Amino acid sequence: MQIGHPEIKDRLVAGAVLGIESSCDETAVALLAGDGRILAETVHSQTGAHAAFGGVVPEVAARAHLTHLAPLTEAVLAEAGVDETAIAAIAATSGPGLIGGLIVGANFGKGLALAWGKPFLPINHLEAHALTARLPGLAEGGLAFPYLLLLVSGGHCQFVAVEGLGRYRVLGRTLDDAAGEAFDKAAKLLGLAWPGGPALERLAAEGDPRAMALPRPLLGRAGCDFSFSGLKTALAQAVAGFPPGPLPRTAAADLAASFQAAVTDVLADRTDHALALFRARHPGAASLVIGGGVAANQAIRAALTTIAARQGFRLIAPPLRLCTDNAVMVAWAGIERLRAGALGDLAHAPRPRWPLDAPDMALTPTPVA
């Protein structure tokens, strides 16, 4: 991405940005004014299309994005009451994620950009999650860099020091499953429908979190990496101890509560370590942001609030619809990049893997003559 002429930059920043998200199983479109106000937003969740398979089927997802993107975009523009003349740029998730969906969304965005003569901004999905809490009005008093992000979703589980736009330091990540993935696998073992996180949380409310002694992988270890596969295996063994067939309701509830308690303990411990590591680098910083679908879990939120407060941090948890995959965050990342002078890149190829600390995440200013 390049830094452009100041006048071009001012014109782009004044206009609205259309965001497109298609990296997994949510098809989402949003329109934000240049100042970050949300003009219209919509999300089509494909859960129904994938539920019968017990997980996201990439081919099904890509086709569904293709079906839904154009009508969702029309609906967003209609709701906002604008046409393309109000739009300064198109921002679309271009990685990381399922490549079929990324190609559909990014090329849809490029098509609009070409047809309307606007810049196309390829957005890193993780950057979009990382910047969400900077949306105007979301964090009291605003949220300045640097801050610590805990991203916990079905596909991602990492601590990121958000030091500036394009400047991300991954402090720790999962060595195996993501936290949401662990919830989904545990839910499946307990006979709950996919995606299992919310169902497991509901079932856990009826159970005793001390009923079953499950492991807390990496608890107390140095650093802030995660591991969940051992916990999942321990749960599978506990389930195997019951006679074949559906688990008795009380046993399933006890196992759900015990599993959730183990994940919560691990997340709390890892966050405790991550906050200390982050503070050592940034002594004045005091904000912890959580994002991703698992951030919806009340037990986890409560534990993180306690840990953050103990270390003198405020916990910023965006509203759930902005924690899970959405296009508002994509448009907002586009706005942040436009403000920093990005001009867009029609030649950008979507990438299934695109870590936040990849070299091309940094903004590289090129002086204009």
Instruction: State the residues that interact with ligand KG4 by CB under 6 A.
Output: 24, 153-155, 180-181, 183-184, 195-198, 201, 292-294, 296-297, 324-325
Q: Which does 182 bind (CB under 5 to 8 A by kind): Zn ion, ligand KG4, none?
A: none
254 binds, among ligand KG4, Zn ion, none (CB under 5 to 8 A by kind): none
Identify what 105 binds: Zn ion, ligand KG4, none; CB under 5 to 8 Å per kind.
Answer: none
CB atoms within 10 A of CB 135: 22
* Partner that binds at residue 334, options Zn ion, ligand KG4, none, CB closer than 5 to 8 Å by kind: none
Helix (H) or strand (E) holding 74: helix 58-80
What residues contact residue 122 under an 8 Å CB cut-off, 6+ apart?
A: 92, 94, 95, 106, 345, 348, 350
Tell me whether residue 69 or residue 126 sits nearer to ligand KG4 (CB atom).
126
Q: Residue 289: beta bridge partners? A: 149, 316
- Nearest approach in angstroms of CB 141 to Zn ion is 26
How far the first Cα of the chain sits from its last, in Å, is: 17
To ligand KG4, the closest distance from the beta carbon of 350 in angstroms equals 16
Residue 336 touches which of ligand KG4, Zn ion, none (Cβ within 5-8 Å per kind): none
Cα angle value 228/153/280 (rounded, 5°): 75
The option from ligand KG4, Zn ion, none interacting with 350 (CB < 5 to 8 A, set by class) reads none
Binding interface with Zn ion (CB under 5 A): 153, 325
Q: How far is CA 88 from CA 4, 60, 249, in A?
A: 14, 32, 54
149: which strand partners?
160, 289
Nearest approach in angstroms of CB 315 to ligand KG4 is 17
Smallest CA-to-CA distance from 354 within 129, 163, 134 is with 129
CB of 149 to ligand KG4, least distance (A): 13
| Min separation Cβ 135 and Zn ion, Å | 16
Q: Of the two residues 41 and 201, which places its CB atom closer to ligand KG4 in the complex?
A: 201
Q: How far is the CB of 251 from ligand KG4 (least distance, A)?
A: 20
Instruction: Name 243's Cβ contacts closer than 8 Å, sequence gap at least 6.
Output: none
